[in-house]
Amino acid sequence: MSATSSAVLSKASWPDSDFRTEAPCMIDVRELTKDYGSLRSLDRVTFGVEEGDVLGFLGPNGAGKTTTMRILTGLSRPTAGSCTVGGFDSAREHQKVRRMIGYLPEDSPGYPEMRADDYLKFMAEMKLLPPRDVAREIDRVLDETGMAYARKRLLGNMSKGMRQRIGLCQALLGDPKVVILDEPTNGLDPRQIGEIRNLIAAMRGRRTVILSTHILSNAEAVCTHAAILNSGRIVAKGSIDELRRTGDASRLRIRVRGGAKDLRAALDTVEGLRTVRAEETDGTAEAVVESDGSLQPAIARAIVERGMDLVELAAIRPSLEEVFLEAVRKADEAA
């Protein structure tokens, strides 16, 4: 995507009357469908993002994440359905929507022969920022992203991580209410990923963010909510805690005062239980078992009857990655 095509997606200032407070969510997507000829890229996608939330938009390659983001930013029109940003329809009122949005595409735009400050000045002018605000805005976004030291560096001489942060700078010009980030950590090393993750986490509560990523640990660390997309359909959505609670919580952690040998012997008496591991540390033993929730009373009884003190018996909630893989697997099986 060229720098010019991404440059008009936000504006430095706009009157309060341009924000429709009656919108049910800052971002409201309903029955969104997109066809490319006979190929259906999105199939009745519906979700909402409240003001100040960070939504992790998750899915395998080709799931429809980028298509959704392009429709949200007004760069593509849906075949059916609707999406609004701040109460404005992205298809019919795309200019007003673009004033509210900062967008960082997967391949961060930029010109290698330009210095960072010159590039940001160019982008600020493309976004129609008032000339009196341009220098102040450039200073602000460079400070916010920790890139002030690189303002005179050529983009072509920067690492990918530095260029990605300059790309984030251009998305933040004009202080947009909504920031849409498409795979912002793609191809970065662990340190660079951590830097981008910290920047996104700092936006929580101040901006509404949609973060497309396939690095599930990043989404779990910075997002308040997640939507899992597979083959153009939403297969799971909710807060991070809700998704983990609805995942397959078939593992239990058991901790007792006693030895691992006695704990394993007690667990062996419970029919339908499979012990994954049991280990002993400083007078206590801990085991991880696989079972359904109905076996918890039998487990507790077996431990007490063996003369051990039960310290902990709790479900191990699945990680977001495990929830993601399970949701995609079930969706593929149902297709």
Asked whether the predicted pLDDT for residue 50 surpasses 70, the reply is yes
Spatial contact of 233 and 331, defined as CB atoms under 8 Å apart:
yes
Q: Which residue has the tokens 């697997």?
A: 329
Tokens linked to 94: 């795309």
pLDDT band of residue 16 (cuts 50, 70, 90) is very low
Domain spans in the chain, listed from the N-terminal domain onward: 3-246, 251-315
For 247, the 3-state DSSP assignment is coil
Within 8 A by CB and 6+ apart from 12, the residues are: 124, 127, 128, 129, 130, 133, 137, 173, 174, 175
pLDDT tens digits along 66-100: 999 999 988 899 999 999 999 999 888 888 888 89
Q: Considering the chain, what percentage of its residues have pLDDT values greater than 70? A: 91
Q: Are strands 101-104 and 178-182 parallel, antiparallel or unpaired?
A: parallel
Tokens linked to 314: 């709790």
pLDDT band of residue 106 (cuts 50, 70, 90) is confident
pLDDT band of residue 244 (cuts 50, 70, 90) is confident
- Confidence at residue 247, expressed as pLDDT on a 0 to 100 scale: 58
Q: Are strands 251-257 and 208-212 parallel, antiparallel or unpaired?
A: unpaired
Asked whether the predicted pLDDT for residue 12 surpasses 90, the reply is no
CA angle 1, 138, 50 (to 5 degrees): 65
- Confidence at residue 15, expressed as pLDDT on a 0 to 100 scale: 33
Average pLDDT of the residues of the chain: 86
Spatial contact of 133 and 173, defined as CB atoms under 8 Å apart:
no
The residue type of 133 is D
Domain 251-315 has CATH 3.40.50.1970: no
Q: Between 273 and 7, where is the model more confident?
A: 273
Angstrom distance (rounded) from CA 137 to CA 12? 8
Angstrom distance (rounded) from CA 94 to CA 78? 12
Asked whether the predicted pLDDT for residue 20 surpasses 60, the reply is no
Range with the lowest mean pLDDT among 125-129, 229-233, 294-298, 314-318?
314-318
What integer is the mean pLDDT of 223-240? Answer: 92
- One CATH from 3.10.530.10, 3.40.50.970, 3.20.20.70, 3.40.50.300 for 3-246: 3.40.50.300
What integer is the mean pLDDT of 38-66? Answer: 92
Q: How many residues make up the chain in this entry?
A: 335
For 295, the 3-state DSSP assignment is helix
pLDDT tens digits along 127-184: 899 999 999 999 999 999 999 999 999 999 998 889 999 999 999 999 999 999 998 8
What integer is the mean pLDDT of 258-280? Answer: 87
